Amino acid sequence: MAEPPEPGDSLGEGALGAAAVTGPCLAGNRLNVDVYPDGCQQFVKLLELRKEEVAQVEFLRLNCNEDLITSTLGHIPLLKALKSLVLKGGHARDAVGACQRGLLTSLPQGLGHLRSLVHLDLSFNRFSLLPPCIIELASLTSLLVCHNSLQGLPEDFGRLTKLTFFSAMKNQISGLPQSIGELAALQTLDLSENSLDALPEEIGNLQSCTELDLSGNRLTGIPSSLGNLQFLQRLHLHSNLLVTVPASLAHLPDLSRLDLQNNRLRVIPPEIESSPFVHLRGNPLGEPEVPLQPDDSSSEELRTLFLAAGEDRFTVTPEGCQVFLTCGVQFCFPRGAVASSVTICFQKCSPDPQWVTLKHHDILLSQVLELRPHGIEFQEEVQIWMPYAFTQSLHEREVVIRTFSGQKWSDLRSKVEWKGKMRLVCCSVPHFSWFLVVSRLVVNECSVPKEGTLLFSTVDPNIKVTFPHGVTEEPRRVMLQ
């Protein structure tokens, strides 16, 4: 989901750009010091020298990876005309190149007196609670708190009645307050990649909402009140644990995208299944529930092995076992997978670009997992679960495990699952070699018989390929990407 543009006109040189020492970070009524290693120090110095002019600044950006950021925040309430405040981390990187979060865990209560503030961005910081002063910002229309550690939202969150855009993606929010339904002006709500397992009925009161992103949570169901969102255009529910969805979603008049991919849906209402804007890839549609086995000696649980850090091998017997590695990889060897005891060795290594050749648009999501002995044939297929780095926009992509045969890499039939709080991708293999996880563009395929057929894209239903009668003498396999 795209970020909203910051309020204000295009940049232009203004009165504040005259001072030579600070000119590069000033433009009109904007003060952008987040691009300088000593930006906080520059801001404080400028405030001391030209207090009256700085007090008229309407747009301010600071670098929250600087050590002086906490003390600098005490000066911000002096900027009474401030309309946009960006306090983001992510300006520094660690040894492996990953963005480091900012240092902020709280905000001074005085920030709540910024009556003109309409845009606040606190992304890539370390907030576990939403600072109380934010609720006092009565004019706020846009709030971003992405990539923090928020556990939830305050009960009085609904007081932000002018809010039109709210994004809290990539947090740890496990529940929403009932007051969420009081945000009558809210148009865009992004709560993707959190820990939500349920939604309050009041979420159906967001009458102005046009886009709602709840992907990457732990929802098993959604309230029927979502059917009240008459202006909703895009509803993202992919990568949850949904087992059912209300039929009323199919009747929303403005809905143009309903993403239900990578859930646990076995049966869905026919009016949803037939809608052209619904995306269902990665669900076990039509598959029966696996019945519980009777409680006898033949159904005893498999032996479980938990390997410690530093261990690089384990033994599998004909009785089978489940194996958990400290890196998050899991295995299930069913009974009879091996005829006699076999020692399995494993290691994880960084992918060599000269060996791991990615296809165009592929995204690498894991290290390479090597399992030995290579090529050993199992009597029963072994299941492998591999953790991966979750990325946004998976509604237009799919996650698969790729394996190396010794000559080339090929993709395995894979499925995304939740195990506890971990998102894993699973596949079944008849033998061991090298494995890694990639995100690729969605591939649609079909068999074209002599009678002809229709192949359409699950990403964009408007893309269709018609194969007329007699187009081929023999059945052919066709892929669309």
Residue 64: the pLDDT is 93
User: How many angstroms separate the CA atoms of 146 and 193, rounded?
Assistant: 10
Residue 52: the pLDDT is 86
Instruction: Tell me, yes or no, if the pTM score tops 0.75.
Output: no
DSSP state string for 389-402: ---S-GGGEEEEEE
User: How many angstroms separate the CA atoms of 326 and 310, rounded?
Assistant: 9
**pLDDT by 10-residue block (mean), the chain, 481 residues:** 61 36 60 86 89 90 93 94 94 71 94 96 96 96 95 96 96 95 97 93 96 93 95 94 92 94 89 88 77 42 83 89 89 91 88 80 87 86 88 67 86 81 84 89 73 65 72 78 65
Question: How many CB atoms sit inside 10 A of residue 109's CB?
Answer: 12
For residue 136, what are the contacts with CB-CB under 8 A and spacing of at least 6? Answer: 112, 113
- Phi, psi dihedral angles at 182 (to 5 degrees): -85, 0
Burial of 35 (0-12, 13-18, 19+ CB in 10 A): exposed
User: How many angstroms separate the CA atoms of 23 and 430, rounded?
Assistant: 65
